[in-house]
Amino acid sequence: MDTLPIDLTRSSIKWKGTKMRGLGSHEGEIAIQKGYLLLQNQILTGGEISVDMRSITVTDIPASDPIPIRNLTNHLKNSDFFDVNKHPVSFLNFLSVEELQNNKLLVDASLTIKGIANPVSFEVEKLGKHHFQTRLQIDRFNWDIAYSGSWVDRTLVDREIDLSVELVGK
C-alpha cells in the first residue's frame, strides 16, 4: 500500500452555489489544507483530505468590486453558513473505493462540515497516474449550512452546492 501526500499546488476544490432556482449563482475556491491518497497496485483505495474553510474565496465577482466580494466572503464565513470561527476545517474521508470501467471509480466517503458527518457517494475519474477528478453535489441543509433569516431568505439560496475536486498525489 502506497500513501501519497496530496500536491497542494496542483490540487483544488471549487464550489458553486445557485439562488432562485438557478437564476443566479456564485462560485469560488476553498484550499486543501493537507491530505493523502492510498493506492494499492496503482489503484486508488482510500484517502483523506482536510479543507481550510477559512480560505473560502469568491471568484465570480470582478476584482474591481472589492466590497461585494468582501461582503459575500464574510457572509459565507459567518454562522449563517460555514461558521469558520467555530469550524475552521472540514474533512473528506474515503470509506471504500470500487473500480468501475473506463478509468472511473465509485467512492463512498464521509464528509464532515461544521462538525456534522454525512455519507456521500461520487464517481471519480482517473486522469493520470496519481491524478483524480470528481464533481459532487451536496444538500447544504444536511450540514446546517443554512442562512438563518426568514423562510424566504433561506429559500432564495438553493439547497445544492456543487463541488469540483481535483486531487493530484506527489
Provide the residue type at 115 as one letter. Answer: G
Q: Which domain holds residue 72?
A: 2-168
In whole angstroms, give the CA distance from residue 110 to residue 92: 6
Residue 80 confidence (pLDDT): 80
Q: The C-alpha cell of 56 is what?
A: 473560502
CATH number at residue 129: 2.40.128.110
Q: The C-alpha cell of 26 is what?
A: 456564485
For the chain, 170 residues long, give each residue's pLDDT as a single digit of tens: 899 999 999 999 999 988 766 667 899 999 999 999 999 988 899 999 999 999 999 999 999 999 999 999 998 999 888 999 999 999 999 999 999 999 999 999 999 999 999 999 999 999 998 999 999 999 988 999 876 555 555 567 788 899 999 999 99
Domain count, the chain: 1
Q: Which residues contact 122 (CB under 8 A, 6 or more apart)?
A: 106, 107, 109, 134, 135, 136
8 A C-beta contact, residue 85 and residue 106: no
Question: What pTM, to 2 d.p., does this model score?
Answer: 0.90
Residue 139 confidence (pLDDT): 93
